Amino acid sequence: MSPIPGSGLAKGLAVTLRTMTRKTVTAQYPDVQPDLPPRTRGVIGLFEENCTVCMLCARECPDWCIYIDSHKETVPAAAPGGRERSRNVLDRFAIDFSLCMYCGICIEVCPFDALFWSPEFEYAETDIRELTHERDKLREWMWTVPAPPALDPAAEEPKEIAAARKAADKLAAQAATEAEAAADAAAQATAEQPAAGQPAAGQSAQDTRPAQDTPAGQDAPTDRPGPDVPTAEEGPA
Ligand code: SF4
Ligand code: SF4
């Protein structure tokens, strides 16, 4: 059966019209940044203060793209007679993102919460060697890690927050006690001082009178007698 003349054109126009009415899905990146979900796997951030160099992440990484170097340090005993301890000190922590397959195993296995996903993805390089992010760069990514979601209202308070609040309450109580003691001391000092304009004990009110003003360059008036005035007995000479 031969096709109806012009049916192809009608079909094409129908497709065009149908597509025109649909919502566009074109992303205008980089002019408009994409709205990424909070758990996006963009890049891995290292919170090195939490890292104990246990090497679990490097061992479990399927691509062997985590490089860790460390050395041991001896920590002196905390108290006399105690035992010295040794601890690992991190020298190098690097992730080669040209090999990483973003599986997230390293983050899952880290027992000390030292690795986190950041949604940042704009770190393409023209040189593949630049995709090995060293410790400082991995630390910088931590600033882009989103805050964890809020706890369920009925959830138990995390022990870290409880401990921090206990310490803050203790400090606040200590500061309040010190402020109260300072206020008591100030009030006592004020009570011991004479009030302004009031004579101190053993001082007469006359002593506290301000001195009379005298013109500049003149002596203060004395009890000098006035000019000689003849008395009635003396009479004029
Ligand atoms: S995400 Fe996977 S591949 Fe990438 S560093 Fe971690 S464990 Fe290795
Ligand atoms: S698993 Fe965590 S604590 Fe252990 S070396 Fe890796 S990042 Fe550090």
Give me the CATH number covering residue 34: 3.30.70.3270
Residue 60: Cβ within 10 Å count = 14
Report whether 62 contacts 103 (CB < 8 A): yes
Tokens found for residue 207: 């002593």
In percent, the amount of the chain with pLDDT more than 70 equals 81
Residue closest via CA to ligand 2's atom 4 equals 54
Tokens found for residue 63: 């691509």
Number of domains comprising the chain? 1
Asked if pLDDT for residue 140 goes beyond 60, the answer is yes
Residue closest via CA to ligand 2's atom 1 equals 110
135 lies in a domain? yes
Which residue, among 48, 39, 145, has the nearest Cα to 94 in the 3D structure? 48
Q: What is the DSSP string of the chain?
A: -PPPTTHHHHHHHHHHHHHHHSPP----TTTS-----TT---EEEE-GGG-----HHHHH-TT--EEEEEEEEEEPPSSTT---EEEEEEEEEEEETTT-----HHHHH-TTS-EEEE-------SSGGGGEE-HHHHHHHGGGSPPPPPPPTTSPPPHHHHHHHHHHHHHHHHHHHHHHHHHHHHHHHHHHSPPTTSPPTT--TGGGSPPPP--TTSPPP-----S----TTT---
192 lies in a domain? no
Tokens found for residue 62: 């399927």
130 lies in a domain? yes
Report whether 75 contacts 85 (CB < 8 A): yes
172 lies in a domain? no
Ligand 2 centroid vs 48 CA: distance in angstroms? 9
The number of the ligand 2 atom at minimal distance from the alpha carbon of 68 is 5
HSE (CB half, 13 Å, CA atoms) of 150?
3
Q: What is the pTM (predicted TM-score) of this model?
A: 0.62
Positive or negative torsion for Cα 210, 214, 218, 221: negative
- State if residue 104 touches ligand 1 by the CB under 6 angstroms criterion: yes
Residues 82-96 have pLDDT tens digits of 889 999 999 999 999
Residues 98-139 have pLDDT tens digits of 999 999 999 999 999 999 999 999 999 999 999 999 999 999
Asked if pLDDT for residue 172 goes beyond 60, the answer is yes
58 lies in a domain? yes
Asked if pLDDT for residue 3 goes beyond 60, the answer is yes
109 lies in a domain? yes
40 lies in a domain? yes
In percent, the amount of the chain with pLDDT more than 90 equals 58
163 lies in a domain? no
User: Residue 56: which domain range?
Assistant: 28-144
Pocket test for ligand 1, best of 43, 55, 63 (most atoms within 8 A of CB): 63
Report the mean per-residue pLDDT for the chain.
84
Burial class (CB in 10 A: 0-12, 13-18, 19+), 126: exposed
